[in-house]
Amino acid sequence: MPSSSQLHIQISAQDRPGILAETLAFIVQTGWNVVDIKQFVFNGLLNLSILLDGCDESHILPLREKLSAYAEQMGFKVNVYPWKTATRPDAPYAHRSVVTLLCDSIPSSGFQEITRIFAELDINILRIEQLDSGDVHALEFVIGTRKAHSSEEVLDALVKFKEHYGVDIAVQEETYFRRNKRLIVLDADMTFLQCEVIDELGKLAGVGDKIAAITSQAMNGEMDFKSALLKRVQLLKGLPVEKLQELSNSLPLTPGAESLVNILKHLGYKIALVSGGFQFFIDKIRSDYGLDYGVANQLQIENGKVSGELEGQIIDAEAKEKTLVALAEKGGFSLRQVVAVGDGANDIKMLARAGLGIAFNAKPIVQRQARASINQSNLKLILYFLGISGEELQELDEVVRGGKNQPWPED
């Protein structure tokens, strides 16, 4: 047989054990070699494709006759046809990405719309997998392109879809790093925590409205973060340290934060809080939840009161980015193995450097630049962007709740 000719077998059947083994028996009897096998089961229906070579065209008819008789006897469909490799373009959709959608539900019109967007961009859908269909619908589209579309280009094309259907989206390159993350770096205020700590301190100091207004400007990118921070800290002058301690014991965690931490620790992640807030509070959170790293600004305390000044380096956007890089280097991780999560303008550079940067309930300026976003108040949803399915998530929950990081059960 010329090396350019191969044979493709395609079988559709109600799934049961033994169909592949029985088919391979006919292939062996007629002298063909297996080049490739693809098989999946959906809703009890088997879809099986086998690519063969090693024989000339005279061997096609005997195999076709045997398989046709077998299929008729067993009540399923089989197609056997020559596959000319010379007429096929080499890897026409060689560049692969994964688009993950999170939503309460998505109508048929939503599926139609997203597939139309892909088609208009000459993007081929290689695989669709439903990660979860419970309270959250999580779908993964593995897509292929002829050209190396960047994640940003694909995400830009999905912006209107995202807004119209109220879905959260992540776009990532399909590489071995996607499910091999090792470090997560989270912002604290309005990300890991459900408050801006400095605003809460402002309330305790009687200057809540003034500080909240400056915070809003800084997080929306309307004011330089360093200047905004120094102005707010000056307004806290004279606040007793006892008030800081009181607040540190009542900081509200974002839903899903503790569960996310426990699961990622079980999976071997290093976990860091890198905050434009204050070390006083980050140290308490780090200790309470067993985090690996915590980096923030240092409030100066004099005579048991806030002096209105800071000590040491200011943790602004550039410092957050540098800290993320340094923590990855310390752990021996590629930046592609890093997840970063944040909501404010001072998180943009950090999100851009990470392999997966997630804008979490973020300001518009952040969402426009991030390759992934979540607009629901549940940090646990991050796990779907890491490729974890609902079934796996349930198993992980059971393990970390019941076992103090007990080992995985034996297969």
Q: Is 189 a catalytic residue?
A: yes
Catalytic residue among 53, 132, 168, 187: 187
* Sheet strand arrangement including 77-84: 33-42, 45-53, 5-14, 77-84
Q: Is 292 a catalytic residue?
A: no
Catalytic residue among 189, 199, 316, 347: 189
Catalytic residue list: 187, 189
